[in-house]
Amino acid sequence: MRSSRPAAPRLAAGPGAAAAAAAAAARRPGAGACRACATDRIKLGGSDLEVSVCCLGTMTFGKQNTEAEAHEQLSYALDAGLNFLDTAEIYPVPPAKDTQGLTDRYIGSWLKKAPGAREKLVIATKVSGYSTTNSYVRSPPETTRVTARQIKASVDASLQRLGVDHVDLLQIHWPDRYVPLFGAAAYDIANEREGDVSFEEQLRGLEEVVKAGKVRYVGVSNETSYGVSEFAHAAKAAGLPKIQTIQNCYHLLCRTAYETDLAETCRRHNVSLLAYSPLAGGALTGKYLEGGDAPATARFNLFQGYMERYYKSLARAATEEYAALAKANGLTPTQLALAWCRSRWFVTSTIIGATSVAQLRQNLEAFEVELSQEVIDGINSLYKKYRDPPTSA
């Protein structure tokens, strides 16, 4: 379903914006001569899922957002033309036993009050990878693994909370095997474990819920080039469901891991990137910098130590310089960060998370900004100076 919103003049940023806009339109399927915006549609991988290039993230529902606030955001997003939302069995975050599943329940209670909304939406969720700390998501509690039994249990519980009979995309939230996660910089063989669930076994478990009509397509998250390739090869060799998407972290402070080999790997296997945390948990808005306007309820203030890699040492210095670059070109830091993700050829859909409708509106409007080549050059110059600072300092 394409947005019926009328075309409007494109917001330009920096000199050379017209040439940049033309180049972007040429490489962006479906955009044509119309304004680029958050509601533009694009296909996921080789599936028939056509989603908005902006996806509504929901991990704040149940911690930073009440049920009423969640409903307000969902209604605003749908009315604005978004058709893609992402949840997970462990949400909201930071994950905790007493709040686990609230995000899904809030979405489910909204769907009951919004006739016809389910048919308009592409709903993505995630099954947990290996974890000894989130055992409470299973009943009875156990170490989470990507086995057929646990995939089925996860999906059944998610469908019940959401109040739907199927989800459109099921993603493995993080691998069953050891990989560096959430800011860990380097692979360490000392952390490898025995007894990993094989790629084929994981796909066979996913196949079961697909064949049961509970899931339409499958994907991965927080995955590596090795993992994407192994899943692709196993699917082809055994005739199993192909992974269509990868949901990985990507933003101005976290580029290298995807831009190098993962970009090529996913292109070769037709796996679409769903970029999460495009504002680095809110750090790239600039609100946590000196003179910023972060309230006491802002994520980093509310949850002390959470995602601290984004606001300490070099990451903070880099954010200051990106904010200065934005200001020099008539942009807000939020516009710079989200327009950057939007401009990358390998980003299929960008997942945004907001704690208010005002934030959500600002985020959606940022998708209308086209970065000039001069601004992009400025970003790349800063990248040479600050190369993924959250994992380098």
User: What's the pLDDT at 184?
Assistant: 73
**H or E element in which residue 50 lies:** strand 50-52
User: What's the pLDDT at 297?
Assistant: 61
User: What's the pLDDT at 182?
Assistant: 78
Reply yes or no on whether 91 is catalytic: yes
Question: What is the CB-side half-sphere exposure of residue 313 using CA atoms within 13 A?
Answer: 12
d(CA 162, CA 32): 35
| Residue 9 preceded by cis peptide, ω within 30 | no
**Is 346 contained in some domain?**
yes
Structural domain span for residue 35: 11-391
Q: What is the CATH number of the domain that holds 23?
A: 3.20.20.100
Mean pLDDT across 378-391: 90
Q: Is the pLDDT of residue 1 over 90?
A: no
Q: Is the pLDDT of residue 15 over 60?
A: no
**Is 5 contained in some domain?**
no
Least confident of 13-17, 18-22, 188-192: 18-22
Mean pLDDT across 40-58: 98
Q: Is the pLDDT of residue 295 over 50?
A: yes
Q: For the whole model, what pTM was predicted?
A: 0.88
Q: At what angle do helices 373-385 and 333-343 cross, to 10 degrees?
A: 100
Given CA atoms 28, 31, 34, 40 in this order, what sign does their dihedral have? negative
Residue among 91, 130, 310, 311 flagged as catalytic: 91
CA distances from 1 to 40, 56, 92, 167, 336 (A): 10, 16, 29, 18, 28
**Is 77 contained in some domain?**
yes
CB 121 within 8 Å of CB 84: yes
Per-residue tokens: 362 = 């600002």
Higher-pLDDT residue of 101 and 281 is 101
**Is 4 contained in some domain?**
no
pLDDT digits (tens, 9 = 90+) for 114-132: 999 999 999 999 999 999 9
pLDDT digits (tens, 9 = 90+) for 206-229: 999 999 999 999 999 999 999 999
What residues contact residue 96 under an 8 Å CB cut-off, 6+ apart?
none
Q: Is the pLDDT of residue 54 over 70?
A: yes
**Is 76 contained in some domain?**
yes
**Is 318 contained in some domain?**
yes
d(CA 308, CA 105): 29
Q: Please give the tally of structural domains in the chain.
A: 1
**Is 132 contained in some domain?**
yes
**Is 6 contained in some domain?**
no
Q: What backbone phi and psi angles, to 5 degrees, belong to 176?
A: -75, -30
Q: How many CB atoms lie within 10 A of CB 281?
A: 23
Mean pLDDT across 228-240: 98
pLDDT digits (tens, 9 = 90+) for 308-324: 665 667 888 999 999 99
